[in-house]
Amino acid sequence: MTEITRNVSGREIIAFRIGAQEFCVDIMSVREIRGWTPATALPQSPGFVRGVINLRGAVLPIVDLAARLGFPPAEPTARHVIIVAQIGTQVVGLLVDAVSDILTVTDDIVQPTPDVASEMAKTFVRGVLAVEGRMISLIALDNLLPAQEREAA
C-alpha cells in the first residue's frame, strides 16, 4: 500500500498499464494504491464490476478497468494493483495491471482522442498525452461506474 503525497504545484498524473497500453488519471482523484485482494461478487452486476472489498471498513466496489475499456477481463493476481479513486461522492477501486509512473504534465500536452479509437475508448478517454515517445490515455473517471439502478417495481 502506497500513500501518495499530493503536490499541488504542477498537474500530476498517475500512469498505469493495462496489457500493453498505458493510461493515466489525475493524481488529485487518487486516494491510495493497494494490492489486489479477492472481492466479494455482487449479484446482478455487469461483468466489469469484480465485486466489493473492505477498505478499512468501507465497502469499495472494484471496477476491472480492462473489461470496462473493452479488453479481455483481467485475471487478477497478487501482483495486480487497485487504484483507489474518488469519483464524485463515491470511492471506487480500479483494477489495473501495474502502476508505471507518476508524471508532472501541463495541459497543453493533452491532445484530443484520435478518431481511430473505438466508441468504448471515446467514452472513457478524455484525451491522449505524448510523453517521451509513449502514448498515455487520460481516463475520464465520471462514467466508469454503471448508472444507478432504477428501483425495480
Compare residues 59 and 130 and give the one whose CB is closer to another protein: 59
**Closest approach of Cβ 8 to another protein, in Å?**
26
Residues at the contact surface with another protein, assessed by CB under 8 A: 38-45, 49, 51-54, 56-61, 90-92, 145-146, 148-149, 151-152
CB of 140 to another protein, least distance (A): 19
Instruction: Tally Cβ neighbours within 10 Å of residue 78.
Output: 7
Q: Minimum distance from CB of 130 to another protein (Å)?
A: 34
How far is it, in rounded angstroms, from Cα 85 to Cα 75? 21
Return the number of the residue (8 or 153) whose C-beta is nearest another protein: 153
Residue whose CB is less far from another protein, 24 or 92: 92
Q: Closest separation between CB of residue 152 and another protein, Å?
A: 6
